[in-house]
Structure 1
Amino acid sequence: MATPLRTAAKVFYYARNFARDLAPQALFRRRLAGWLEQTRRSDGSVRQRVNYYNRLERPFAPSPAAVPVSRMPFSPSMYYYDLKEFARYFDPALLIDLEFGDVIDVPKMPAIVKDRPITDGNGNAVLMKLDKFRHFQLPADRQPFADKRPLVVWRGDLNNPIRTRFLDAVRDLPICDVGTPKKEAKAEYQKPYLTIDEQRRYRYIVSLEGNDVATNLKWIMSSNSLCLMPPPTYETWFAEREVRAGVHYVPLASDFSDLADRVAYFEKHPAEAERIVAAANAYCQKFRNERDEQAISLLVLYKYFVLGGQVKPDPEVWRFITG
C-alpha cells in the first residue's frame, strides 16, 4: 500500500530519469573521464566494493544475446533506469549481457544482475544497484529500542516455503504479530497490512527471503529494531554475505524453534540487543554516501567493459581497480 510520501517519491524518480533520457547523452559520456579521475583517488573501501560486486578476473567475450547499451530492455522500467543511470556514461554501442528480475542462478556468461546466490562460484553474476527504489529504503528511525513494543512482527507474501514454515511455527506465540496481508492466503495466515513505520514500532522484526533476497532487510537494519533471520542465501548490492550473525542480526534456526528463546534472552539483555542494532545501523551508513555509490557503480561497469574487451583501460584507473 503506497503512502502519499512514497507516491511522490516515485513520481520524482520517474521524472528525473525521464529528464536524463531526454538530455543529450553525449553530455554524460564527456563527463566519464572526469568521474574516473575522481574515483581513482578514492580509498581502499571503494576498490574493495568494486571487486566484491564485480568478481570477474579474466577477459571474456559478450554472448550472442548481449544488447547495446542504447537498446537495453525498458521493462521492468526501474531496472532499466537504475542501470541506464550509469551505463549512459559509456559508448551506446557497447554490448552488455544482463538479467533483469529475481535471479536465483548464476548466469552462464558474465552478466549484470540485481542479485545472486551466495556461493564461491558466483563470479559471472555482476551486481549493480537495481530496483533500488523498492530495495534500498533506509528511513531514519527516531524511536529507541527500549521504547518499542516488546513483540515480534513480520508481514509479507507467502512466496517461499520458508515463510509458510515460519508462520506455522510461531504464529500462535503470544509474542508474535506475524502474517500476510494477502487475501488469497489461508485465513489463519492473514494479518492486517502494516507500513514500514508501523512495523518499526516493534522491538523485533523478522526478515525472510522471498523470491530471492529479503526486501525488508535493509530498512530493518537501518532502524532501531533488532533484526532476526535465518542466514541469507542470496545477496544484492547490500552485500548480504557480509552481514554477520550475532554482529548485525540475530540468527534463527531453520525451523524457528529458537525464536521465543531469542526474544526472551534479549528482553533480559537489552544492552546486547542495542549493540547489534548499532552495528546494523553502522553497516548501512556506507550506502548513504552518494558520491561513493556513484563511483562504485561506474567502476563496476568500467571493469565489466574492460574485461569484455570493449574498452581500453586507462592505466591509472585500472591500477586503482586491481590494486
Structure 2
Amino acid sequence: MATLQRNAQKLFYYARNAMRDIAPQALFRRRLAGLLDQARLSDRSVRERLNYYNRLQEAFAPSPDAVPVSRLPTDRSMYYYDLKEFTRYFDPGLLIDLEFGDVIEVPKMPSIVKDRPIAGDNKNGVLFKLNKFRHFHMPADDIAFADKLPAAVWRGDLNNPIRTLLLEVARDLPFCDVGTPKRTAAAEYRKPYLSIDQQRRYRYIISLEGNDVATNLKWIMSSNSLCLMPPPTYETWFAESELVADLHYVPLAPDFSDLAERVEYLERHPAEAERIVVAANAYCRKFADEPTEQAICLLVLYKYFVLSSQIEPDAEVWRYISA
C-alpha cells in the first residue's frame, strides 16, 4: 500500500527520466569519455564490484535478438528507464542482449539482467541495477532494536512452496506474526497487510525468496531490525552471494526447523543481534553512494560493449578494468 510520499517519489522518478528522454541525447554521449576517465580513478572496490556484476572475460558477438540501445523495449517502464539512464551515454547503434523481469536461469547469450542464479557458471547474466525504485527502497528506521517488539514477522505472496512451508511451521508459534494478506489464500494463512514501517516495529523480519530474489531483503538489512532467512540462491546488484551468514543476517534451515531456536538464542544475546544489525547497515550504505553507483553502471556497460567488439577500448580505462 503506497504512501503519499512514495507516490510523490514515483512521480518524480518518471518525470526526471522523461525529461532525460526529451533532452538531446548527443549531450550525454559527449560526456562519456570524461565520465569514464573519472571512473578509472576510483578505488579497487569499484573495480571489484564492476567485475562481480560483469564476469565476462572472453570476446563474444551479440545474438540475432540483440536490440540497439536506441530502441530498448519500453513495456517494463522502470527497467527501460534504469537501463536507458546509462545506455544513452553510448552510441545509439550499439547492440545489447537483455532479459527484463525475473530471471531464474542463466541466459544462453551474455545479457543484461536484474538477477541471476548464484550457483554454477552465471557469467552470461550481466547484472545491472534494474527496477531500483522497488528493489532499492531503503527508508530510514528510527526505532532502536531494543525498542522493537520481541517477535518475528513476515508478509508476502505465497508464490512458492518455501513461503507456504514457513506458514505451516511458524503460524502457531507465539513469537511469530506470519501470513499473507492475499484474499485468495487459504483462510488459515491470511493475515492483515503490514506496511514496511509496521513490519519494522518487530525485532526480527524474515526474508524469503519469491519468484527470484527477496524484494524485502534490502529494506530489512538497512533497518534496525534483524534479518532472518535461508541462504540466498539468486543475486542482484545487491550482491546477495557476498552476504555472510551470522555476520550480515541470521541463517535459517530450509525447513525452518531452527526458527524457534534462533529467535530464543538472539533474545538471550541481544548484543550479538545488534552486532549483526550494524554490519547489515554498513553493507547497505555503499548502495547509497550515487556517484559510485553511476560509475559502476557505466563501466559494466562499457566492458560489455568492448567485449562484444562494438567499441575500441580506451587503453587507460581498460587497464583499470582488467587490472
Place the TM-score, normalised by the shorter chain, in its bin: over 0.9
Question: Could you say which residue in structure 1 is the equivalent of 2:267?
Answer: 267
1:256 alignment partner in structure 2: 256
Corresponding position of 1:31: 31
Report matched runs for 1:139-288 at 5 Å: 139-288=139-288
The structural deviation recorded for 1:138 is: 1.2
- Quote the Cα distance in structure 2 between the aligned partners of 1:316 and 1:120: 32
Matches of 1:87 and 1:189 in 2, distance apart? 44
Shift of 1:62: 0.1
Q: What amino acid is aligned across from residue 9 of structure 2 in structure 1? A: A
Structure 2 distance, partners of 1:211, 1:120, is 19
Deviations 1:41-82 (A, max 9, x none): 000000000000000000000000000001110010000000
Deviation at residue 36 of structure 1 after TM alignment: 0.4
Amino acid paired to 1:68: P
Distance 1:72 1:9 in 2: 24
Q: Which runs of 5+ in 2 are unaligned?
A: none
1:160 CA drift (Å): 1.2
Question: CA–CA distance in 2 between the matches of 1:3 and 1:211?
Answer: 25
**TM-aligned CA deviation for residue 121 of structure 1:** 0.1
Which residue type is aligned with residue 119 of structure 2?
Answer: T
- Give, as a single letter, the amino acid of the residue that structure 1 aligns with 2:68: P
Cα drift, residue 120 of structure 1: 3.5
Total equivalences in the alignment: 323
Look up the equivalent residue of 2:259 and give its one-letter code. Answer: L
Quote the Cα distance in structure 2 between the aligned partners of 1:138 and 1:23: 30
Q: Comparing 135-144 with 204-213, which one deviates more in the overlay?
A: 135-144
Partner of 1:52, secondary structure, is helix
- Within 1, Cα distance between the matches of 2:164 and 2:276? 27
Task: State the Cα distance separating 1:215 from its structure 2 match.
Answer: 0.3
* Matches of 2:119 and 2:92, distance apart in 1: 32
Q: Distance in 2 between matches of 1:193 and 1:13?
A: 26
Q: Which amino acid aligns with 1:109?
A: M
Residue matched to 2:138: 138
> Which secondary structure does the structure 2 equivalent of 1:246 belong to?
coil
In structure 1, how many angstroms separate the alpha carbons of the residues matched to 2:282 and 2:110?
32
Percent same amino acid at aligned positions? Answer: 75
Superposed displacement of residue 279, structure 1: 0.4
Cα distance in 2 for residues equivalent to 1:220 and 1:57: 34
What CA distance in whole angstroms lies between the structure 1 residues aligned with 2:185 and 2:205? 21
Distance between the aligned counterparts of 2:285 and 2:137, measured in 1? 12
How do residues 12-51 of structure 1 correspond to structure 2 at under 5 angstroms? 12-51=12-51
For 1:26 and 1:181, locate their aligned partners in 2 and report how far apart those are by CA, in whole Å.
Answer: 48
The answer for unaligned runs of 5 or more in structure 1 is none
- Give the aligned partner of residue 113 of structure 2: 113
Q: CA deviation at 1:16?
A: 0.4
> Which sits farther off after the overlay, 139-148 or 53-62?
139-148
For normalisation by structure 2, the TM-score amounts to: 0.99
SS in structure 2 of the partner of residue 90 of structure 1: coil
Instruction: Find the residue that maps to 2:261 and give its secondary structure.
Output: helix
Deviations along 1:112-153, whole A, 9 cap, x unmatched?
Answer: 000000023000000000000000011111111000000100
* C-alpha distance in structure 1 between counterparts of 2:87 and 2:206, whole Å: 36
Q: Tell me, what secondary structure is at the counterpart of 1:231?
A: coil
In structure 2, what is the Cα distance between the partners aligned to 1:49 and 1:160? 31
Distance 2:5 2:181 in 1: 21
1:235-261 C-alpha deviation (Å, 9 max, x unpaired): 000000001101000000111011111
Task: Please report the TM-score for the alignment, with normalisation by the length of structure 1.
Answer: 0.99
Separation in structure 1 between the aligned mates of residue 20 and residue 183 of structure 2, nearest angstrom: 39
**Residue in 2 that maps onto 1:87:** 87
Q: Residue 241 of structure 1 aligns to which amino acid in structure 2?
A: S
C-alpha RMSD over aligned residues? 0.5
